[in-house]
Amino acid sequence: MYRVDDPSINHINYAQRCRTWFVNEPLPDVYLNELLRRLCPCSILQAIRDRRFRLNLNTFYARSRFSRRVFSGERIYQRCCYSLAGKSFGSLITNYPFGSSFIFRNTTLQARNNEALTDCCMRSSLCSLYLKKRPINKCVGYKAPRKAWFWGDPHNPKYFTIFGQLWMINASDSLFTYSNGLSASNYSDPNFTPIFGQNIQALFANNTELYNQAVAQCGNNSECLFDAAVVSKDTSQIYQDTSNQLENFPPQISGLTTYNVTYGNMFTTTLNITDLNNGDIVTVEMTNPPINSHFDRQTYTFTWNISTYENISLTFVATDNKGARSELAPQIIMCYCSNNGTCDYAAEMGYC
């Protein structure tokens, strides 16, 4: 028996390197327990409006603003990744290699983490091992923050005294450039006091019709009249739209995350689709369908007569009638067995 391959001295067994990382890496609970209050927003719209996260619009990664310290002294962040693909645009990615779990603040530790991701999910088919140590947060239990236009009571004069006058600048503080003979003092009025309750009618700017409508609804309630004067219909609608977007959760797709398939055989699986928002209408589509496959959009059953031995990448996208989306992109391990062989899907590339 002779060896027919001639690997170079620099040959790297990425599957073995992935397994070594898996054995040496602690269970993820030691990290995840510190991120229970850093659950991923379920959609890109929620991530944009959730001030607990910082969204990078170049990468569509959202990272928690503050890190958490774990038992070993390391600091970690929650990181959430969102899709840039057409039909699944803005949905939370819940699979590798494009999804994400927590990340380390220490750049050396994070570099090792990235190397393990590449070894397990891109250079071998052992992504299931990486997923066990780096589970992706799927936004289960996420609660969107409540939105408000004002911090505190805008009708109370003490907020003007505490904040408005505190933020007043003088000539030495100003960052602007002025014409000769002018300074910041020419553009400020230190004696100005906002209208609070003593002259609410002035806020309506001689709009008698609007004022009368407000009085009919508010009576003598000065806070109600103040809001009616300063909050326009358009602003109110924007607030309502924002609240609706924050409270609308995308439909959830659950099912097999790995498809072990054999060339020449039939493969069938059924997805489970749920939606937390009562009354939402959900549609499910399949992108990049393989040859001789069919997806039933009523029963959510995927059937595939495997007749090609090529790299397959398919994604299921669930969208509600408000535009919120989620996706499931299963890993496909293909086996080509002949002569009554048996597939070993746990092997590096699923060969017989």
Q: Which pLDDT tens digit goes with each residue over 116-137? A: 999 999 898 888 899 999 999 8
Predicted pLDDT of residue 196: 55
pLDDT score of 268 more than 50: yes
Q: What is the pLDDT of residues 171-194, one digit of tens each?
A: 665 656 666 777 777 767 666 666
Of the pLDDT bands very low, low, confident and very high (cuts 50, 70, 90), residue 8 is: low
Residues 197-213 have a mean pLDDT of 72
**CB 131: neighbour CB atoms within 10 A?**
20
Residues whose CB is less than 8 angstroms from the CB of residue 89 and which lie 6 or more positions away in sequence, other chains included: 44, 83, 325
pLDDT score of 206 more than 80: no
**CB 106: neighbour CB atoms within 10 A?**
14
- Rounded CA-CA distance 294/286 in Å is 9
CB of 1 closer than 8 Å to CB of 101: no
- Rounded CA-CA distance 289/253 in Å is 17
Residues 20-41 have a mean pLDDT of 88
Helices vs. strands in the chain: H and E counts, helices first: 9, 16
This prediction has a pTM of 0.60
Cα distances from 110 to residues 102, 105, 187, 320, in angstroms, run 10, 7, 51, 36
Residues whose CB is less than 8 angstroms from the CB of residue 228 and which lie 6 or more positions away in sequence, other chains included: 210, 213, 214, 217, 218
Cα distances from 325 to residues 71, 88, 199, 289, 301, in angstroms, run 36, 6, 49, 19, 19
Q: What is the pLDDT of residues 31-75, one digit of tens each?
A: 888 887 789 999 888 888 888 999 888 888 999 988 888 877 889
> At 317, which helix (H) or strand (E)?
strand 315-320
CB of 241 closer than 8 Å to CB of 314: no
Predicted pLDDT of residue 168: 61
- Rounded CA-CA distance 155/161 in Å is 12
Cα distances from 324 to residues 78, 81, 303, in angstroms, run 22, 15, 26
- Rounded CA-CA distance 123/32 in Å is 26
Residue closest to 309 by CA, chosen among 291, 330, 287, 288:
291
CATH class of 252-335: mainly beta
Q: What is the pLDDT of residues 337-350, one digit of tens each?
A: 766 677 777 654 43
- Top mean-pLDDT range of 6-10, 23-27, 274-278: 23-27
**CB 324: neighbour CB atoms within 10 A?**
24
What's the whole-number average pLDDT of the chain?
79
Predicted pLDDT of residue 351: 39
pLDDT score of 314 more than 60: yes
pLDDT score of 219 more than 50: yes
Predicted pLDDT of residue 163: 46
Residues 233-238 have a mean pLDDT of 54
CB of 277 closer than 8 Å to CB of 308: no
Predicted pLDDT of residue 150: 44
- Residues carrying CATH 2.60.40.10, the chain: 252-335
Residues 101-106 have a mean pLDDT of 92
